[in-house]
Amino acid sequence: MITIASFSKPENAHLLRMRLEAGGVTAYILDENTVQMDWLISNAIGGVRVQIAEEDIENAREILSEVLPVAPSNDHPICPSCASKNTAPHELPHRLSFLSLGLIGFPLLFAKHQWKCADCGKTWDETPAEEL
């Protein structure tokens, strides 16, 4: 058996194992339970390791070299001002809530979920799906 990858999180190791097994390569995960019981020693023991048989190395390289298509994400809305798709959730209200938690002991909710355009800088409230 040979270790082909090491991860700090067991779920990442399982994703690799499933991808390899979908391609016909049997893979095993080592030290998953140890890392889950005490995650602080993950680096000391080499993390969660994925191992395969030595005769499967070439098949594993072929499987891992394939580029998987990524579905486009429709999570981010289009900017109503400049029609850009370069948008992200506006972080200022979350930061103010966190600051109020540290200063007065409980968070103040400053605003609803807002979006901000990285191109033009416009911020707007999240539009419910039924209004679109």
Q: What is the pLDDT of residues 40-80, one digit of tens each?
A: 888 888 889 999 999 999 998 888 887 666 555 556 677 88
Total-model pTM: 0.50
Average pLDDT over residues 109-124: 74
Task: Please give the structure tokens belonging to residue 66.
Answer: 């394939």
Closest CA to 29 of 47, 45, 56: 47
Q: When comparing pLDDT for 28 and 100, which is higher?
A: 28
Other Cβ atoms less than 10 A from the Cβ of 20: the count is: 21
Distance CA 50, CA 23 (A): 15
Q: How high is the pLDDT of residue 128?
A: 45
- CB contact at 8 A, 56 and 26: yes
Mean pLDDT, rounded, of the chain = 78
- Asked whether the predicted pLDDT for residue 118 surpasses 70, the reply is yes
Distance CA 22, CA 119 (A): 41
